[in-house]
Amino acid sequence: MTPTRLPIPLYLTYLVALASLIWVGYGPPALALFGLMALATLVFRQRIEQSMVEWGLRAITYLLAFTLAMVNGSPVNNWIFDSTRILLAGSLAAAEVAVQCWKPAPNRSVLVCLCGIVMFAACNANAGYYALCCSVLFFACLAPTLSYLNASTRSASRLILLSRVGALAGGVMLGAFLIHLFNVCNGVSLYSINISLQGISLPHSDTVGGGATSVQLTRTSNLQFSSARALRLHSYIGDGHLRGMSFTNYHLGQWTRPDLQAIEPVQATNLHPDAYGHLMRVDVLATSDHLLYLPLETAGVRTEARVSWIPEIGDPLQALWGDHPWYLAVRTHAPEVNLSPAPTPAQYSALLEVPPEINPRVRRLAARFIAQTASPREKITAVIDYLQQHHHYSTSIDPGQGDPTSNFLLRGLDGHCTYFASGATMLLRCLGVPTRFVSGYYAHERGAYDTTIVRQGDAHAWAESWVEGTGWVTVDATPASGMPETKSSWVQRTWEWLADIFAGARDQLVAFVVRQWPFLLGMLVAGYLIVLTRSLRRQRAKAGSSSGTREVDPAVAALATRFTRWLAKSGTPCTPDRPWHDHLHTFTAPPAAHAFVQCYNAVRFGAKLNEQALAEMGQLMKQLEAEPGARSPSPPGPLSQG
């Protein structure tokens, strides 16, 4: 059977989707093997016609895709809508496309749908403009591919063809929009949450234990206004600051934590789960982020996840969620039972250290607007007032050459929250107040049923100072215009409303699947068996109606037509449902007729056609036509089977 050649735009669509899965979706580079496997069909014309060989190839490619996806993925808890399983779905779809290309007549519509699944898996990452560029290129290749889906469109007018392609493209674009909206609601990146909002890179669990986590003061805030939900708080009471990690060391615009190598597992009893106070439940919606975000006044934590921390500091609290992506926080106003302990003498000195790259004029600036004899509380208030009166919030800043914090303070520059937090930390250290830099979230969006929604766009930075007799105090010098709650427009609020609707529907769907998965699996298997049984019956019926037939050579077909005419002019026409072999026994046929039918059956249903057999059939046919009594040929009858 002559293999069906797939259109080149379909190959391009698949390659763009596969490249996006590797580049944007952080898929394993070994997935490129599937692309090479598909491109090989352009060179080799052989195809897989045997079902056993096809399923063997499918099993091998599926096993390879499964191994690559699971080894390359990260373990997360969400049962169905998590990053690893979406990567696995994309890898399996890519493998199936490679297998389909080797079939004699692959279904192009199925291939387009599979390419869409690969592209969806690729876009399941916080890749920003990279995903957008790849999506535009994908649709640019998909548009000409859609015209090949239905062969009947070739006979349609160009206007009708364009309208059909436009309708299909519009449907695909609408589906892509819904998928993107669903993906935003999902809020799961494949390997890193690493939200660069307002200049903050929230730490991911892979970097917490590796000592590489840091916060860099950047020129722009990299605002993405991500509406993806990160946390859902129940019965939350507080000023909105949810701390994730504190930083002590500063060097040329970068805050680091050199002690992260000392993170260790913590016993549940050391988290004071029985502490007395206001109880708040936190549901983790972005499970790729393995940090516990807590109010500063947290006295205890209750969770079934495995937690690690640095006990001397009390943060970061890193959790392996497993099947329990939630925790309870006990909020109190008693500093002596706070999870953030008092600094040790060594930590106290580090919290007062002003790095040598800080311009000496920063110390003189700090002494200018507050006296050293003032209380720590007065110094904190003075620093906040000074920064908010002499600096404004801006999403971009050009700090120039040298230390960015010094230039921000001395030049009166406008900046985003990381600059205000860094500037407040250095000014307070110059005034003798132990202070550290903190990154986390600012919770402000009230939801239904006494809940508070925290989105990835609510990432924030501030400072914390140690005040003797009080404990740690939050120092947020960012102006009100730069707080997350004031930067959202009506467009963003509308988008968040839509995202919440889809997220709620998704949560209900997940809950239903988790509860009813045995029933759904049984229905899926039963439906598959029904479809498979009907398909096998159709194949058997088709095989029975055309058993043993194959394509007829034109020369053989011409000889068969001449034999049919000879039967008709001899007065013994053969009906289409009767084989020639049986028909010749109903009358006294010449030996040449039996020899012709025997030779025809051998060529038509058995041996391969060769010149000798064709010449022999021609001689026999001439002998029959030359017999006496032959009449003029009658109109050709139907082609019978011997």
pLDDT above 90 (res 405): yes
Question: So what's the pLDDT on residue 189?
Answer: 33
pLDDT above 80 (res 69): no
Q: Using 50, 70 and 90 to split pLDDT, how confident is the model at 70? A: low
Question: So what's the pLDDT on residue 542?
Answer: 56
At 255, list the tokens.
């805050």
Write out pLDDT tens, residues 172-187: 555 555 554 444 444 3
pLDDT above 60 (res 199): no
- The larger pLDDT score, comparing residue 85 to residue 318, is at 318
Helix (H) or strand (E) holding 246: strand 241-247
At 636, list the tokens.
């050709």
Write out pLDDT tens, residues 507-553: 677 667 667 767 777 787 777 677 667 766 766 665 544 444 456 67
Write out pLDDT tens, residues 350-394: 999 999 999 999 999 998 888 878 899 999 999 999 999 999 998
User: DSSP readout, 439-475?
Assistant: EEEE--EE-SSSEEEEEGGGEEEEEEEEETTTEEEEE
Write out pLDDT tens, residues 226-268: 667 788 898 888 888 999 889 999 998 899 887 777 788 887 7
At 616, list the tokens.
């022999």
Question: So what's the pLDDT on residue 387?
Answer: 95
Taken in order of first residue, the domains within the chain and their CATH numbers are 8-191 (no CATH), 196-488 (3.10.620.30), 489-547 (no CATH), 554-625 (no CATH)
Question: So what's the pLDDT on residue 351?
Answer: 94
Least confident of 68-77, 221-230, 282-291: 68-77
User: What is the strand order of the sheet 451-455 is part of?
Assistant: 298-302, 326-331, 278-284, 229-234, 451-455, 445-446
- The larger pLDDT score, comparing residue 109 to residue 282, is at 282
Find residue 250's DSSP bridge partners. 255
Highest mean pLDDT among 15-29, 293-307, 602-616: 293-307
Give, in degrees to the nearest 5, the angle at Cα 601 between 599 and 602: 65
Mean pLDDT of 12-34: 83
Question: So what's the pLDDT on residue 382?
Answer: 94
Highest mean pLDDT among 5-9, 11-15, 126-130, 493-497: 11-15
